Structure 1
Amino acid sequence: MASTEPLSRPDGTPIRILTVDDEPSLIELLSMAMRYEGWDVYTATTGSDAVKVAREVGPDALVLDMMLPDFDGMEVMRRIRTEQPDVPVIFLTAKDGVTDRIAGLTAGGDDYVTKPFSLEEVIARLRGLLRRSGATTVRPDTQIIVGDLILDEDSHEVTRAGNQIHLTATEFELLRFLMRNPKRVLSKAQILDRVWNYDFGGQANVVELYISYLRKKIDAEREPMIHTMRGAGYVLRPAGA
């Protein structure tokens, strides 16, 4: 849960990542983690769509599944690099054999992650590639504001309606994740992977426990902001929204 300095393009605009995979649930998890970093995320589920999106947005890095419905990730990379020769690429694949690794890297890929993987690992590798390709560190506004709830990422101070709220380190990280994704339903699996770095499953009870801790501090004697979406997860919304 160590904090890291945000990255941006050299001109100060948000990093653009193109994520390509034919599993919608995996795309959503990856996109969530990348948006948490402050990056703009573009997605595609086929190779042909990926090439089209890349041409439109000019991504700063690609996260590419090796196996796609129309053509494979190496062909996607080849086509995109005809117009963006230096764009970094991380391959995702269910295959973990040495031959597959060598094939992807020999074809020009910059890195290779096998499924299942930790979202933290993918983000860390992306950050490394982006720094090497010219991304710069930025100092954005350190406050996240949702309704009357304010979280300061530098001082770790949290207030609601001007009243200070004292949180543990884990409670703070959980609240930060919720506040960076306001009005978005976050599953227990997404929360586990982002806040606790666990792979999915088996520890969902810890999420319930810490949500209850947060509610006692954030929502106590106030209009609730943290809501349970039965069977789906949790969402933080401004009071009255």
Structure 2
Amino acid sequence: MSRKKILYVEDDNTLAFLTSDNLEQHYEVVHFANGNEAFEAFKKNAFDLCVLDIMLPGMDGFDLAAAIRELDVEIPIIFLSAKTLKEDRIKGLKLGADDYLVKPYSIEELILKIEVFLQRSQKHVAAKNSTHTIGAFVFDPENYALTKGKETIMLTERESALLKLFIEHKNTILKREVILKSLWGTDDYFMGRSMDVFISRLRKIFREDESIRIENIPRIGFKLVAPE
């Protein structure tokens, strides 16, 4: 697995060396002592997290964080500063920083915070990437939404669960009892009739895309046929 890339901005050479040396055991660290240079690098490279001092030559840490937030509203930002005033901490957090550590800080605490924010960021990306493309449609199971172009069709929770199950088994036969037990916990007759209604509604929606169809496999189940 590739190492996470951290933008570290600190103009104190001794502190920068010690912090970089420790962080580089875990991450790829790109260090700058100047805020303007750091921002130029941010615009040209992909980083996973930013660690910023506040008192910097060129663009200070507050301005740097604001500029970074203009380009990326989600990247985690941690301030490291000798500024201990509550007003400075509040200003930093209002600018969109995720945390504010006061110098002197422990490397262990910094690494712990970095790990927390990297994991949170990864989960957020995973959630964002949880949509599924099926033909001309984009399916968002978390929000029960099926979008085609500018049109969004809202599904019921059960319809969304059914479509998600079909997509997970795309182009393979799903037995009726497997669908019923997965979604209803039972394969009795009345639940089967409800399932047929939901499948009919999905078929009606997918009529707009000839590359998608839900095939009935007699006495066995169904198959969602769609482009890979």
TM-score by length of 1: 0.49
User: What runs of 5+ residues in structure 2 fail to find an aligned partner?
Assistant: 124-228
Q: What's the CA shift for 1:56?
A: 2.5
The yes-or-no answer on 1:15 pairing with 2:4 is yes
Tell me, what secondary structure is at the counterpart of 1:77?
A: helix
Please tell me the root mean square deviation across aligned C-alpha atoms, in Å.
1.6
Between stretches 111-120 and 24-33, larger displacement belongs to 24-33
Whether 2:112 is the aligned partner of 1:124: answer: yes
Aligned to 1:72: 60
Question: 1:79 deviation in Å?
Answer: 1.4
Contact 1:44 1:53 in 2 (8 A): no
Identity of matched residues, %:
37
SS of equivalent to 1:42: strand
- Check the 8 A contact 2:76/2:98 in 1, yes or no: yes
Structure-2 separation of matches of 1:30 and 1:53: 20
User: Could you tell me which amino acid in structure 1 is paired with residue 48 of structure 2?
Assistant: D
Number of residue pairs aligned between Structure 1 and Structure 2: 124
2:23 paired with 1:25: no
Q: State the 1:83 CA deviation.
A: 2.2
Of Structure 1 and Structure 2, the greater helix share is in 2
CA distance in 2, matches of 1:80, 1:108: 10
Aligned equivalents of 1:56, 1:83: Cα separation in 2: 11
1:193-226, CA deviations, whole angstroms, 9 ceiling, x for partnerless residues? xxxxxxxxxxxxxxxxxxxxxxxxxxxxxxxxxx
Structure with the greater relative contact order (CA < 8 A, sep ≥ 6): 1 or 2? 1
CA distance in 2, matches of 1:85, 1:98: 24
Structure 2 length-normalised TM: 0.52
1-side partners of 2:43 and 2:21: how far apart? 23
Q: Which amino acid aligns with 1:34?
A: L
Which position in structure 1 is the counterpart of 2:44?
Answer: 56
Q: What corresponds to 1:88 in structure 2?
A: 76
SS for the counterpart of 1:48 is helix
CA-CA distance at 1:84 after TM superposition: 2.1
1:115 Cα deviation from its structure 2 partner: 0.6
